[in-house]
Structure 1
Amino acid sequence: MSVLPDPGASRAVLIGTSRYDHLEQLPAVSNNLTAFASLLSGPLSLRLPAPHVTVVENPPNPGTVLDPLRQAAADATDTLLVYYAGHGLIDPHDALALAMPHTQPGRIETSLTYDWLRHILLNSRAQRHVVLLDCCYSGLALGRMSTAPGLADQAAVEGTFLLAASAETRTALAPVGETHTAFTGALLDMLRHGIPGGPPLLDLETVYRNLRLTLEARAHPVPQARNRNSGARVALGRNQADLPATPATAAAGLEPDRRLWPDPTSIRTVTGFFTNLAAVRETSGLTQQEVSRRSAGRMSIGTISRLVNRDTLPATWDTTAAYLAACGVPGDQIQQWNGAWQELRRNAATTQEARTSAPGSTAGHGKARRRFSVLWPGRDH
């Protein structure tokens, strides 16, 4: 079953190099980063809070990439998404290297070795990893690709869906005059406009198949993909072409299409609760005014707006239940929403109790408590 990650428990790190000292310039990469970051934080994709999306553009050294990636890997418990756009190189040992501004062909120490990034992913707390590589290759690398393992094979990580744009020429990766590179441009377009006749959620398997068809039709190189542990079921957004223009509640005697509704069983955080709650109305096809009318006077437009824009759980359930019912959510799913609400409240109470009962706690004394993050030592693989 396809599932959207909980935005409160997920992170994204977007890496891109557009300026090079010794390689061809890729100005479209800068546009890629801006557009993709905006999309991931908006209603057309994962709705990640802006602080959960880190952009690393033209990194001067590997540490500039690896440090924020380590932090995201430590923070993410649901899904960690890593994206790279720029020149990709194959080193003398047939390992993948990601080019940086000062990268020199033949000097692998000037690149970011993918194995370093891969090691961080292997030690991440996230249950799922999504790796998107929009790379091109030099002529030497292209000559060796026929006998070397494919990019997706080299970069695979357990628990990961890897989607790699295996561009064959530089102009194919970044067509002259285009705002975005070929691969990322097609991906952005798909997430913005959806796939007519496609499934309600754009999971990675669907994204991969559609990208292959689209890029092949444009005479661009087709992407590669590798899936580990059902990573293909992770969705990057709802299918905008599938969202109803009219209320999703079916006519009398007909069951509504339950695949359209956000899944409350995937909610792990308060942020995820309200993000999905807002998505319920969009899925229903109703305006806030229509939801208010269908609530039989129990909710004003202002009440609806305040509900979906909260950052703390409501103390009572009635308003949320009235909102879900007015949007047309089936009764059994409303019960699942109630279960998610109760679980989050229990977790919040347990966390608060642990804080106040911990040795040395300063609760009740008005003193600020320092927060520490623990970095676990890496494991051998």
Structure 2
Amino acid sequence: MINVLPDPGASRAVLVGTSRYQYLEQLPAVSNNLKALAGLLRGPLSLHLPPEQVSVIENPPDTSMVMDAVRQAADGATDTLIVYFAGHGLVDGQDELGLALPHTQTGRIETVLPYDWLRRVLLEESRAERHVVILDCCYSGRALGRMSAASGLADQAEVEGSFLLAASAETRTALAPVGDTYTAFTGALLDTLTHGIPGGPALLDLAAVYWHLRRTLEARRHPVPQARNRNSGAQVALGRNRAELPAVPMTTAPDAPAAARPWPDPRSIRTVTGYFTSLAAVREVSGLTQQAVVQRSGGRISSTSTVGRLVNGHALPAAWPTTAAYLSACGLSDEEVLRWQDAWQRLRSELPPADPRGPAALPSGKDASVPKTERKRRPFSAFRRRGAH
């Protein structure tokens, strides 16, 4: 498996955080964590997920609100599902991890969201091929600015076919410094995805992100994060490496050779949303302006508005030449353009045939524009047999 960005049309994210507590110490930075991470996942610096596919749950009043959102996302995602939690964490007498909600009380297990509930949804109910679990959590009873995690946190929380990124395995160092905008761990994660890793890979896969966070936080004398990888989950990318993208546009000369660049891989595209997101990313990776693309097209693209319509569409184009001209002008080779054409043809073949009676003939409440791919759900027992715990 090669490192690849998830298809945004087939992926979902659920971001949960508790910043206000009735009985535990307050963690105001968690609110900023949620806003910034949601904005990043929805934007071009990261996965460019459609806004409706990023659920943000801040200070949930009860466990059902969280569980409902995770179940809905688990049912909708067929590519990648991201689950994030920030707030206090508790470990009970059986060494089970619990996530603290606004009304959580120490010693009252009925007020805690057991992590195992989320884990079982991912194992038993999720249709996604890959899962990314990010935990920025702590024990209760610490003064404001002291978020920490159990030494066995990653082992308790791991999910088959996933990558788990846990904030810390230590208890002695503050993870939410008073007055900081973000918690230390999430702040470092946001900085990595926004600015990239100098000298790092073209795609910021989870393995690269983890090791960069580890070095960064260790240098700051913060707790060292943990990670667990199952079934190549570490190869899931959360964005392109901004530090390695061209700082200035390529020359506009039509015959200028294109350097090796981290072009989006059309073979990973599953949905129309993913197609247009990746198509727009081609120009970003090239470093070209829209005007430069027009100039390099040799007259095959008439204006910048044509480029804008091409990459911001909602329905696949009926003809291929304009897209081919765009890709070639951005610097893709003929072989790469052919791979894109294969993806375009594949997506078009998966669309249902037009109903000769017109849209009015469709059953009420049915949307036949994009077929829903069904995958057989694997029973929890299957994971048990493979050694999940």
- Relative to the length of structure 2, the TM-score reads 0.88
Gap change, CA 1:257 and 1:117, over 3 Å in 2: same
Rounded Cα–Cα distance in structure 2 between residues aligned with 1:250 and 1:144: 52
Q: Give me the identity figure in percent.
A: 65
Rounded Cα–Cα distance in structure 1 between residues aligned with 2:132 and 2:17: 16
2:160 partner amino acid: E
Question: Which residue among 307, 318, 339 is the counterpart of 2:342?
Answer: 339
Q: What is the CA distance between 1:24 and its match in structure 2?
A: 0.4
Rounded Cα–Cα distance in structure 2 between residues aligned with 1:281 and 1:143: 42
Gap change, CA 1:105 and 1:75, over 3 Å in 2: same
Question: Which residue among 163, 166, 173 is the counterpart of 1:164?
Answer: 166
Partner of 2:84: 83
**For the aligned residues, what is the CA RMSD?**
2.8
2:352 is equivalent to residue 368 of structure 1: no
1:68 partner amino acid: A
Partner of 1:295: 297
Structure 2 gaps, min length 5: 382-389
Question: Which residue among 208, 211, 214 is the counterpart of 2:213?
Answer: 211
Gap change, CA 1:58 and 1:262, over 3 Å in 2: same
Partner of 2:131: 129
Partner of 2:202: 200
Q: What is the CA distance between 1:369 and its match in structure 2?
A: 3.3
Question: Which residue among 314, 317, 336 is the counterpart of 2:317?
Answer: 314
1:249 touches 1:284 (CA, 8 Å); kept in 2?
no
Q: What is the CA distance between 1:318 and its match in structure 2?
A: 0.6
- What aligned pairs does 1:28-177 form with structure 2 within 5 A after superposition? 28-122=29-123, 123-138=125-140, 145=150, 150-166=152-168, 168-169=170-171, 172-177=174-179
1:193 partner amino acid: H
2:330 is equivalent to residue 327 of structure 1: yes
Rounded Cα–Cα distance in structure 1 between residues aligned with 2:153 and 2:226: 8
Gap change, CA 1:170 and 1:18, over 3 Å in 2: farther
Rounded Cα–Cα distance in structure 2 between residues aligned with 1:47 and 1:206: 20
Rounded Cα–Cα distance in structure 2 between residues aligned with 1:39 and 1:332: 32
Gap change, CA 1:362 and 1:368, over 3 Å in 2: farther
Q: What is the CA distance between 1:19 and its match in structure 2?
A: 0.5
1:121 partner amino acid: L
2:108 partner amino acid: R
Runs of 4+ in 1 over 2 A off after TM superposition: 142-146, 167-171, 245-256, 361-381
CA deviation profile, 1:149-190 (whole Å, cap 9, x unmatched): x11111011100000002645971210110000000000011
CA deviation profile, 1:256-302 (whole Å, cap 9, x unmatched): 314x1011110000000000000000000000000000011221101
Which stretch shifts more, 67-76 or 361-370? Answer: 361-370
Q: What is the CA distance between 1:91 and its match in structure 2?
A: 1.1
Aligned partner of residue 80 in structure 1, secondary structure:
strand
Partner of 1:270: 272
CA deviation profile, 1:302-333 (whole Å, cap 9, x unmatched): 10001111011000001100000000011111
- What aligned pairs does 1:6-17 form with structure 2 within 5 A after superposition? 6-17=7-18
Partner of 2:22: 21
Aligned partner of residue 89 in structure 1, secondary structure:
strand
Question: Which residue among 238, 252, 257 is the counterpart of 2:260?
Answer: 257
2:245 partner amino acid: L
- What aligned pairs does 1:281-292 form with structure 2 within 5 A after superposition? 281-292=283-294
- Relative to the length of structure 1, the TM-score reads 0.90
Rounded Cα–Cα distance in structure 1 between residues aligned with 2:289 and 2:304: 9
1:177 partner amino acid: G
Gap change, CA 1:219 and 1:79, over 3 Å in 2: same
Rounded Cα–Cα distance in structure 2 between residues aligned with 1:344 and 1:242: 31
Rounded Cα–Cα distance in structure 2 between residues aligned with 1:110 and 1:238: 40
Which stretch shifts more, 242-251 or 336-345? Answer: 242-251
Aligned partner of residue 172 in structure 1, secondary structure:
coil
Rounded Cα–Cα distance in structure 1 between residues aligned with 2:53 and 2:108: 34
Aligned partner of residue 215 in structure 2, secondary structure:
helix
CA deviation profile, 1:16-40 (whole Å, cap 9, x unmatched): 0001111100000000000000000
